[in-house]
Amino acid sequence: MPSAYKMRIGDEWEEADEFFDDINPATEQVIARFPKGTGEDVNAAVDAALDSFDGWSETPPPVRGRILRDVAVLLAKDKERFGRLVATEMGKVLPEALGDVQEAIDTFEYFAGEGRRLFGNTTTSELRRKFSMTVRKPIGVMGLISPWNFPFAIPAWKLAPALVCGNTVVFKPSSDTPLCAWELVNLLVKAGVPPGVVNMVTGPASTVGEAVVKHKDIEGISFTGSRETGRWITANAGLKKVSLELGGKNPIIVMDDADLGLAVDGIIWGAFGTTGQRCTAASRVIAHKSIKKKLVDELVNRAKKLRLGSGLVKTTDVGPLVNKAAVEKTQRYVEIGQKEGAKMLCGGRRPSGKGYFYQPTIFDNVAKHMRIAREEIFGPVLSVLECGSLDEAIDIANSVDYGLSSAIYTRDVNKAFRMIEKIDAGLTYVNSSTIGSEVHLPFGGEKRSGNTREAGILGIDEFSHVKTVYVDYSGKLQRAQIDLEK
């Protein structure tokens, strides 16, 4: 019988009346059971977060930072076990799973340092004997809602800056990867986060997620997930600070002067790494017509050789999709692409047997108006479009609603900088794939890809308020904009 886990509320691991199954997507076996939380559980978690807020927000930021540093140490000490857990629970291959854990380590290390760098600004006043500055203040109780595809890294992206800024937290992890979330929260407890500062409530979005978003005492929401859910949060959160990272339809442009071997490596990695289940996955290739056939032939050759299987098996190149619904969605889009007139060159089906696997799939003859070229599939499906110039490629790239990541392969520095200038994307890579962000740089998109910049110094902005302070030591009434000297 799989182990039954508990939620974290206040200083207790709380029992529940109902549970849901946590499933290994490679085997379809139940690996754990987690509480099906309720709105009442969210209320209790918010109460605990409110009770602990004054004590935590008044704790000196360097002390908060030392706790985050200790979390990084604990993660690193047990990195192999956590990586194998990611490969088991989420499905990604072990090297990527270990990278997921390393990203969490790096994130906690980075934001531990921000405990001594919660900088404001000082500036001059327009009046004599008046001092002006800004200081950072915590937002309050934060609701953190994380996805399943990076079950250690993305919660770390949210938890670390939220905590170092002095906020307390109600954390709702994805129901596809609750065990990774439980392990991370357990490490925070071991590292010395005080009771009530981090609370975790597991369960469905329809109850737990809705209760978090609508709760009157939660002052900020940080969400990573689908655009549709992001829209719902925007409509229902009220006057909260809301940070949304909502996915992408990311292009790789391959120009006629590109190193094609390097481009193929980047495209295969970007399209089929994590089984295409990254918001930054390369789902579109926009290839110059003079090199497109050669590029496509090599992409198909490489894709056909990718080996499907459990992420724990060393020979596996592509792991499973996260659940049955993801397989069905991928199959649905493959059928849409065929009906729209795109040419499927490889893949296009689910192998027989256990596990939520799907073959790496490539479509050629894709037009920019087709749904497979415009909508986020979140599976191992790549669309190839043709262009005759860089300007046409950029036009195709910008024709979708999303604007998260982008890449170009070219040997011409002028083309590279033209791309950087004109592409609608929060991230642009030159001669590299669309995936591979580093934790000390901002992450986020434009257009319908969201409104946030997590990671790096801008991550602090997402989890803090800026207070402007004026100190007038003139000893008389001075009126800004009125008593300005000529």
Residues with catalytic function:
279
Exposure b/e, 190-217, CB count within 10 A at least 16 = b: ebebebbbbbbbbbebebbbbbbbbbee
Strand 198-200 with 168-172, pairing:
parallel
How many C-beta atoms lie closer than 10 Å to residue 137's C-beta?
Answer: 16
| Exposure b/e, 79-88, CB count within 10 A at least 16 = b | beebbbbbbb
**Running DSSP on this structure, what letter comes out for residue 128?**
T
Sheet holding 7-9, edge to edge: 12-14, 7-9, 198-200, 168-172, 141-145, 220-224, 241-245
The CA-based diameter of the chain, rounded to the nearest angstrom, is: 83
Tokens representing residue 458 in the block: 């801008």
AA identity, residue 129: R
Instruction: Give residues with Cβ within 8 angstroms of 369, minimum separation 6.
Output: none
**Count of H-run helices and E-run strands, the chain:** 14, 21
C-alpha span between 36 and 47 (Å, rounded): 19
Cα separation, 390 vs 420, in Å, equals 12
Q: How far is CA 121 from CA 133, 166, 244, in A?
A: 5, 19, 26
How many Cβ atoms are within 10 Å of 361's Cβ, its own excluded?
A: 27
- CA-nearest of 139, 176, 167, 172 to 155 is 172
